Amino acid sequence: EVQLVESGGGLVQPGRSLRLSCRASGFTFGDYGMHWVRQAPGKGLEWVGFIKSKDDGETRAYAASVQGRFTISRDDSKNVAYLQMSSLQTEDTAVFYCVRGRRPLSGPSGHYFDYWGQGARVTVSS
């Protein structure tokens, strides 16, 4: 059974940093791109960023709203993906989901999302 379990959420002051972890099980973690998607209170889903598999060059991409502040990494030996968030703003308050990306067998390099973690709540407030 595919499982994604986020950890590391909590309350943080504006301007500070926080790192989320996503521990994966039930599949060959190294074969998949891993994404982070967030949902602010009362808002819709927002893609945050992703990291491709090692075979795909571990390419990273980020939403414009977090570019330069957030960094995604992975440790395939531990089956863990990370979201390092810095210079946090109140607008970053959200539930952050770790998501497995599925790439089409043929076609573009983007992914759709087949498995989601339960989410980690991040609150940025003074």
Q: Which amino acid is at 14?
A: P
Q: Which of 46, 58, 71, 93 binds another protein (CB under 8 A)?
A: 46
Pick the closest to residue 36 from 99, 122, 112 (CA basis): 99
Cα separation, 48 vs 92, in Å, equals 10
User: Could you say which residues in the range 53-92 bind another protein, by CB under 8 A?
Assistant: 61, 63-64
- Give the sign of the dihedral formed by CA 52, CA 58, CA 64, CA 65: positive
CB 33 to another protein: min, Å: 10
**50 CB-near residues (< 8 Å, 6+ apart):** 33, 34, 35, 36, 60, 61, 72, 101, 111
Which stretch in 16-24, 45-53, 72-80, 85-93 sits in contact with another protein by CB under 8 A?
45-53
Q: Does 41 bind another protein (CB under 8 A)?
A: no
Least distance from C-beta 37 to another protein, angstroms?
Answer: 8
Instruction: By CB under 8 A, name the binding residues for another protein.
Output: 35, 37, 44-47, 50, 61, 63-64, 97, 102, 104, 107-114, 116-119
